[in-house]
């Protein structure tokens, strides 16, 4: 029987792997990544430095999520840190729409890649915090 912990760790593993793969792709072939991601080319000129910076962050966020899966009890601080950056990234995307740099269609187009991971990671961090309290462990490890 699959328990909640297994589902949580499975979702986190998937998010972590996507982050690592995306970050690696951004670092290895930034121009191809830029033109392969739907809508990115419409946000402005290609900037290799910017793509590399984001690639490093995605690689780090993915690694932090995976380390949290491997390290038991689940370290709330690791997942909370990942959630914080992903939330900031999602808010930045919404700001781009609000100020007119992107059309409203960007929200739906980017939802699976930007807001959804932020929402899921925040929920995972909340679960880890509750799990630590219920099981009598420190929430920050």
Q: Taking the model in full, what pTM does it have?
A: 0.83
Q: Which of 23, 83, 32 is nearest to 53 (CA)?
A: 23
Q: Would you place residue 140 in the very low, low, confident or very high pLDDT band (cuts 50, 70, 90)?
A: very low
Mean pLDDT of 78-98: 93
Average pLDDT of the residues in 42-56:
91
pLDDT tens for each residue of 58-74: 999 999 999 999 987 76
pLDDT in tens, 102-125: 888 888 988 998 999 999 999 999
In this predicted structure, the answer to whether residue 5 has a pLDDT above a threshold of 90 is no
Closest CA to 110 of 20, 14, 27, 42: 42
CB 96 within 8 A of CB 103: no
Mean pLDDT along residues 10-24? 97
What pLDDT sits at residue 90?
94
pLDDT at 139: 47
pLDDT of residue 56: 96
Query: So what's the pLDDT on residue 1?
Result: 63
pLDDT (mean) for 41-52: 88
């Amino acid at each position: 029987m699959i328990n909640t912990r297994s589902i949580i760790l499975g979702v986190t593993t998937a998010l972590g792997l996507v982050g690592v793969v995306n970050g690696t792709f951004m670092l290895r072939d930034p121009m191809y990544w830029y033109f392969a991601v739907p809508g990115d080319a419409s946000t402005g000129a290609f900037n290799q430095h910017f793509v590399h910076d984001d690639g490093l962050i995605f690689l780090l966020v993915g690694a932090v999520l995976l380390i949290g899966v491997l390290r038991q009890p689940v370290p709330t601080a690791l997942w909370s840190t990942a959630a914080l950056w992903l939330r900031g990234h999602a808010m930045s995307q919404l700001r781009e729409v609000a100020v007119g740099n992107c059309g409203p269609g960007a929200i739906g187009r980017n939802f699976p890649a930007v807001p959804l991971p932020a929402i899921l990671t925040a929920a995972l961090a909340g679960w880890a915090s509750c799990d630590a309290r219920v099981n009598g462990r420190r929430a920050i490890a």
